[in-house]
Structure 1
Amino acid sequence: MADKHRISFEPVDIEMEAGEDEKILDAAFRQGVHLMHGCREGQCSACKSYVLDGEIQMERYSTFACNDAEVEEGYVLLCRAHAFSDCTIELLNFDEEELLNSAPLQQVSTEVLEIVEHTRDIVGLKLKPVEPAAYEFKAGQYADLTIPGTDEHRSFSMATTPSTTDHVEFVIKKYPGGRFSSLLEEGIAVGDTIELTGPYGNFTLKNGHVLPLVLMAGGAGMAPVLGLLRYLSETGDTRRIRFYYGARTAADLFYLDEIRALGERLADFGFVVALSESTDGAGDLDVAVEAGVVTDVVEAAEPELHKAEVYLCGPPPMVDAALALAERRGVPEDQVFYDKFTTAVQPDE
């Protein structure tokens, strides 16, 4: 059995243990310590921290996330870091509310309840937790689903809320050659078993926050935003809430009826669809439609974006453009929340 070492985090005064054979971020999840993270593959820098004391070695990572000079200075990516002694680590990015207030990592065997074709390239997947029969998470988080017959996994955001205890819903984009998504067409069927590990992610609503909300999504980024909207509706949130969804054409839209129904139960809700290729057929949808990419539509419609909390989820180019927009508009970093899945191995995310 690999040696274990004590990890002390500053400035939050939290201690835990980590085995030499596990990444520090994984050890934190195992013990219910919810550190900031993003891709979990050493490519995004969300978990970048500074080693104050101790011996740490990293697995392969992107120098765009942590360059050689930073590594020499003592910076590490916790998703790639292994401890080989007791260590003291300074967290550069953390949310005190989330640190010890999130569900610990769980491994759940699930049964496929439903597979639904939402659009030509978006599939809905509903899974029933079987062993254990309960799965704890927060609205907006994501989970890893193991590709049946392999040790590989893919990350997908959950569209359900914790109050829905009989199933967990995912919205998955199909890619040519995608290891998981291609199985949804032929290979995965109702009644099959899929292993789930989670929850992950910081794309969650924060207790006690009162700023207006601007939600932006594209493609399968619908999933966590729908989860947030469902939760906001359940809790009767009274804030100004605006949801902007980007798609190519009217044929790429889905969940419109439910979004409309959720909005009717919210005090101040608006929903706008941005169609980047064509608005043909959009006039029959009973929804506000703008031509163009979603970030341009938001820029024109939200002159006081800096006074809102901004939630972003979608394809990496959309998230990059939205982050650039938030920076231009002076939105403080602690008011911006996003999940941007990488596609380094297989483009299922």
Structure 2
Amino acid sequence: MADKHRIQFEPVGIEMEVDEDDKILDAAFRQGIHLMHGCKEGQCSACKSYVLDGDLQMERYSTFACNDAEVAEGYVLLCRAHAFSDCTIELLNFDEDELLGGIPIRTVSTSVSAIEPVTRDIVSLRLKPAEEFDFKPGQYADLTIPGTDEHRSFSMATTPAGEIEFLIKKYPGGRFSGLLDDGLTVGDELAMTGPYGSSTLKEGHVLPVVCVAGGAGMAPILSILRHLSATGSTRPVRFYYGARTAADLFYLDTIRELGSGLADFEFVACLSESPEQDDGAHEVGNVTDVVDRREPQLSKCETYLCGPPPMVDAALALLEHHAVPKDQIFYDKFTSPATGA
């Protein structure tokens, strides 16, 4: 049996116990401590923290998320870190409301109820949980690849009641997405673990909401819109969605219907490739460029981002340029699954 050690998190004063075999982030989830996180695979830097005292070692990780100089200085990615002594860790990013108030992580069995293409490379996967699976708008879950211990992370596009929809981008040779064409059928069972993610809609907030998405990143934004509409929110909401061409747009009727239930809503479709005939229904340009020219008051808004990593990086640079406070920016940065989504 692996040795156990005590972990103390500062400046929040939370303590927990962890086995040497356990990654610190996973151990925290199981004990109801919801640390800031993103990819959970050492590819982003959302869980980066600072070791004040103790012996920690990391499994394989990306030096883009934590470079050699940072590691030498004492920085660590909690999703890759194992403790080999009692440790004191300074959390660099945390949400006090989420730390001990998140929804418990658990695994439930689901059955496939529908698999439907919505564009040439995005598929809607609907799952029916065998038991109640609660989550907050904007969160994601891990779906296990059948017959393996591997999983892939996808955002929920719905609210918790009833079936849960995921919007999944297909990649050539994708381990999970390839099953959507040949391998998964209605009635098949999938294990689902979660919910994960801190890019959640914050209750009680009143600032205008600006959502920026691309590709399958529409999913968590739809979940947020569905919740806002269902709860009769009066917050102004603008949703910017980036696509290459008009053929890559989808769920436009659904978005319009959700918007009709909001007091102040605008949807802006942004096409990076100029259409042959400009019908005036779309903005032309990268989605972040469109947001830049249409949103002069970004610093007075809450922003929710989800999409390909380059889009998220460009959006974060834009928000920094507009001096948007960090506590008004919410995103879960998924890494590119080019090697096996």
TM over 0.5: yes
Instruction: Give, as a single letter, the amino acid of the residue that structure 1 aligns with 2:136.
Output: K
- The 1:305/1:61 distance shift into structure 2, 3 A limit, reads same
- The 1:339/1:288 distance shift into structure 2, 3 A limit, reads farther
Please tell me whether the aligned partners of residues 250 and 280 of structure 1 are also in contact (alpha carbons under 8 angstroms): no
Instruction: Give, as a single letter, the amino acid of the residue that structure 2 aligns with 1:237.
Output: S
Deviation at 1:73, TM superposition (A): 2.3
Please tell me whether the aligned partners of residues 308 and 336 of structure 2 are also in contact (alpha carbons under 8 angstroms): no
Q: Which residue of 2 aligns with 1:292?
A: 285
SS in 2 for 1:317: helix
Deviation at 1:186, TM superposition (A): 0.7
CA distance, structure 2, for counterparts of residue 5 and residue 101 of structure 1: 24
2:155 is the alignment partner of 1:157? yes
Deviation at 1:281, TM superposition (A): 7.3
Match for residue 319 of structure 2 among 320, 323, 326: 326
Q: Which residue of 1 aligns with 2:182?
A: 186
Please tell me whether the aligned partners of residues 309 and 336 of structure 2 are also in contact (alpha carbons under 8 angstroms): no
CA distance, structure 2, for counterparts of residue 206 and residue 58 of structure 1: 32
CA distance, structure 2, for counterparts of residue 158 and residue 282 of structure 1: 33
Deviation at 1:212, TM superposition (A): 0.8
CA distance, structure 2, for counterparts of residue 296 and residue 76 of structure 1: 34
The residue correspondences of 1:21-60 to structure 2 (distance < 5 A) are 21-60=21-60
2:193 is the alignment partner of 1:197? yes
Q: Pairwise CA RMSD of aligned residues?
A: 1.5
CA distance, structure 1, for counterparts of residue 226 and residue 45 of structure 2: 30
Deviation at 1:345, TM superposition (A): 6.3
Q: Which residue of 2 aligns with 1:263?
A: 259
- The 1:128/1:280 distance shift into structure 2, 3 A limit, reads farther
Deviation string 1:68-124 (CA, Å, 9 cap, x unpaired) is 232222221101111112221111100001111111111111100110110111100
Instruction: Give, as a single letter, the amino acid of the residue that structure 2 aligns with 1:108.
Output: V
Q: TM-score, normalised by structure 1?
A: 0.94
CA distance, structure 2, for counterparts of residue 255 and residue 282 of structure 1: 21
Deviation string 1:29-73 (CA, Å, 9 cap, x unpaired) is 111111001121212111111112222111122222222232222
Instruction: Give, as a single letter, the amino acid of the residue that structure 2 aligns with 1:42.
Output: G
Q: Which residue of 1 aligns with 2:250?
A: 254
Give percent identity, aligned residues only: 72
SS in 1 for 2:18: strand
Match for residue 242 of structure 1 among 231, 238, 242: 238
Q: TM-score, normalised by structure 2?
A: 0.96
Give unmatched runs, 5+ long, in structure 1: none
Match for residue 208 of structure 1 among 204, 213, 224: 204
Give unmatched runs, 5+ long, in structure 2: none
User: How many corresponding residue pairs?
Assistant: 341
CA distance, structure 1, for counterparts of residue 191 and residue 337 of structure 2: 22
Instruction: Give, as a single letter, the amino acid of the residue that structure 1 aligns with 2:239.
Output: F
